[in-house]
Copies of this chain bind each other. A is one copy, B any other.
Amino acid sequence: MNSIKFFRLVLILCLVVLVSCDKSTNKEVLVSTKETLFLAISEATPGTEIILANGSYKDVTIEFKGEGTKDAPIVLRAETPGKVFIEGVSNLMLGGSYLVVDGLYFRNGYTPTKNVIAFRISPEEVATNCQVTNCVIVDFNQLSRDKDDLWVQFYGKHNSLDHCYIAGKTNRGPTVRVDLKGNQSIRNFHKIEYNHFGPRPRKGGASGETIQLGSSFTSMSPSNTLIANNLFEECNGEVEVISSKTNFNIIRNNVFYKSEGSVVTRHGNYCTIDGNYFIGDGVNKNVGGIRIVNTGHWIVNNYFYNLIGENFRSPLAVMNGIPKSPLNRYNQVTDVVVAYNTYVNCKSPWQFGVGTNIAQKDVLPLSEIRSAIALRTEVANNVIYNTAGDTHLIIEHDKADGVKFKSNVINNQGIDFKDKNRFITSDFELTKISENIFMPTGISTEIEPYHGFGFEDIKTDLFGASRENSVSLGAMIAGQGKDPKILDKKKYGASWYDSEKPDYEANIIEVTTLEGDLAAKIAAANAGDILELNAGTYTISTSLKIDKPLTIQSKGTEKAQIVFDGKEDLPVFELNPYGILTLKNIQLSGNGKQYAFASLKENMSNHFGLSVRDCEISNFKYVLKAYKQTFAEEITFANSQISNCENGIELSEEINDKGDYSVEYLTVDNCKFKEVKSNVIDYYRGGYDESTIGGNLKVSNSTFEKCGGKEENGILLNTRGIVNVAIENNTFKNNKVKLVALLWGAKNNTHSNNKLQNSGEIRVEENLKMKLMY
């Protein structure tokens, strides 16, 4: 008998023992290796419960294939939920019927395929009536941003992802996608419920949705997917948090909390968006609401609070379509109903004709021109309350002539506003139910709700109370309010996982000029710690690896001096994944051939960040170099001097022209650039992609002197393709360039109060010709 046979025999004996000992009909099998797991799966029958022993399983592909029954599913569960780790190059596939996966924790790794969890094994072996529950996937990112994957991909029918916590995806690809290719996956009635979608960092380009339901190529198919009772917290990946691209999906009772994006009916039709909470902070303009494309959607009973997003990110954005649109572009909005929603302290909540680009008809082909306004659309029975009055409740980027406004009531505090004929003003009150939740009360019952075709199907309100015999307008029936506890984390995600990070009190670590002390203390520090450098000179020969949030600052007011004598083309600070460096009050110099800061050249599986304040930087080849496929959410230079460098802030390596860029927010304030010869600021985004609406550059209160002399294109501040640019209150002196900047007028590019002496000019070009992506 060889060892495998022996092993099998032992296993079978174990099974027999387990089965015979078990008082229930369940057959429990405890496994603790890949091999025993695979064997247990292959032998499982209805009712089998495979228990994965606590521990870490590395580089494992679990093909969970089996035929359970409704009453006796086959279960694969963690011995202790949260104590079973799937790590390394690993993934899970389910194929068959009535399978349950419970309690696994995916971390410290990435999938070898396109999915971490796939509800199929092959196109013919899909999952039906299968469930993934109580699991966690955190930071399970590919090593490069452009290496795309989907963490959970649905195939088949009647599958469920519930009570999971999923966060931290940085690479290309939606976090969750429902696939509809093939008759095996239509009318799927999948359920995505009670999950906590934790923070998804900004991706810096498209393809960073949290959930995508199908694709344009299956946008004609009935999906019938339900997304209900989930918490979406800071899902900032891109402009769409949920992208519905198929038909008859239902998005109900979810909470969108400070998420920088919208629920978008991007393709497909007849989506129901009912009873959701959209909560902003009144400050962040990137927090979105609902954006509408296509036909037949019902937007009812939703509650919008403190949203100030504009245009694509407005609380209700109704887009213009392309007449006879190609399959993958923007269909006209028709037959949409927006009824019984409540808007509290939202700025210009209703925007129509969003995305109109008729003005760009000279630089775009006709098949890209969004000129078709919404038709046969009804906006009725909504309630708006503004603590401070709003002069423009409706913004018509293009005409809302095809929209019927009926029985919409507003308290605008008596402040006059445009389009008064589209509203009924009334003096009702606001009652606080809880943090973020305010209920309009005392609306006159004499205002009769509009009753359009199909309105009888709006049977309940935001809280689930029956609308029968009620004439209440807005999302909440009068007098029915109780605290929905929308942020109670117990309601969402895996029961065993606590996504709240405990408060961390930063250690302050003193660093001496002793050779190696700085590097050692950086390595030893905890995330968030502060390294204080004693006065003196720190001569460094090897790059300092930053792979966590750290602050490095001079101990006193006197600047410590870091002098780099490392090799050519090496950075002083090597910014690794998760490396977020704050450098304060430091003098940093090189020999003219190295870099002050640089990302890794590859394997940047997570974002970096950089904040430079009160520093003096001189004699580098590059001040900052971010390589292709790297991304920082924020890069800031403030109150600093940068001088005698060949290149400045170089963020233009991401030239895939798919709308991607290298940093979300680049801020330069109160700095002095002197003799930076080229790429003083070089920040690039390529590709015509109307839904990539970053990045953001602000250059203010700064001086640029004798810079750009070697700039080949003759432009000092290169911002090509960046959507938001503001150049304000700067002084440009004796820079040998043709232009200080070439701004994109059609987008949010502005300049003001700059002084230009012997430095060319700032030119604004209304329409930029971009490479078409579609």
Instruction: Spell out A's residues near B (CB within 8 Å).
Output: 181-184, 186, 216-218, 220-222, 247, 268-270, 294-296, 324-329, 331, 334-335, 337, 367, 376, 452-454, 774
Contacts and interface: CB of A to CB of B under 8 A. Distances in A.
Contact of A453 (B182, B294, B335, B774): B182
B186 A296 contact: yes
17 contacts: A181-B334, A181-B335, A181-B376, A183-B335, A183-B337, A183-B454, A216-B324, A217-B334, A218-B334, A220-B220, A220-B247, A221-B295, A221-B335, A324-B326, A324-B327, A325-B327, A327-B331
Contact of A326 (B182, B268, B337, B367): B367
Nearest to A325: B327
Contacts of A295: 218, 220-221
A299 to B, nearest CB: 13
Given A326-B324, A327-B324, A183 B220 contact: no
B220 A182 contact: no
A367 B367 CA distance: 9
A376 B324 contact: no
Given A327-B325, A327-B331, A328-B324, A183 B452 contact: yes
A222 B268 CA distance: 12
Nearest to A298: B183
Most buried by B among A216, A327, A328, A331: A327
A443 to B, nearest CB: 26
Contacts of A218: 295, 334
A270 B327 contact: no
A454 B327 CA distance: 26
A452 B124 CA distance: 10
A290 to B, nearest CB: 18
A326 B216 CA distance: 12
Given A326-B325, A326-B367, A367-B367, A221 B296 contact: yes
Contact of A186 (B181, B186, B268, B335): B335
Contacts of A331: 220, 327
A451 to B, nearest CB: 12
Contacts of A324: 216, 326-329, 774
Contacts of A329: 324
B367 A220 contact: no
B269 A221 contact: yes
Nearest to A123: B376
A270 B270 CA distance: 16
Contacts of A220: 220, 247, 268-269, 294-296, 331
A258 B220 CA distance: 33
A183 B453 contact: yes
A325 B217 CA distance: 10
A247 B221 CA distance: 10
Given A182-B453, A186-B296, A186-B335, 18 more contacts: A181-B376, A183-B335, A183-B376, A183-B453, A183-B454, A216-B324, A217-B334, A218-B334, A220-B247, A220-B268, A220-B269, A221-B269, A221-B295, A221-B335, A324-B328, A324-B774, A325-B327, A367-B367
Nearest to A248: B222
Most buried by B among A218, A220, A453: A220
A216 to B, nearest CB: 8
Contacts of A222: 270
User: Which 5 A-B residue pairs are closest in the complex by CB-CB distance?
Assistant: A184-B453, A183-B453, A324-B327, A220-B269, A324-B326
Contacts of A337: 183
A124 to B, nearest CB: 9
A459 to B, nearest CB: 16
Nearest to A378: B183
A408 B145 CA distance: 48
A453 B180 CA distance: 13
A126 to B, nearest CB: 9
Contact of A296 (B183, B335, B454): B183
A296 B186 CA distance: 9
Contacts of A181: 334-335, 376
A337 B328 CA distance: 25
Contacts of A221: 269, 295-296, 335
A182 B367 contact: no
A16 to B, nearest CB: 36
A247 B247 CA distance: 11
Contacts of A268: 220
Most buried by B among A181, A184, A295: A295
A337 B186 CA distance: 14
A773 to B, nearest CB: 12
A324 B220 CA distance: 12
Nearest to A270: B222
A281 to B, nearest CB: 36
A465 B87 CA distance: 56
Nearest to A321: B327
Contacts of A367: 326, 367
A601 to B, nearest CB: 36
A324 B325 CA distance: 9
A748 to B, nearest CB: 29
Nearest to A222: B270
B328 A182 contact: no
A278 to B, nearest CB: 24
Contacts of A327: 324-326, 331
Nearest to A295: B220
A270 to B, nearest CB: 7
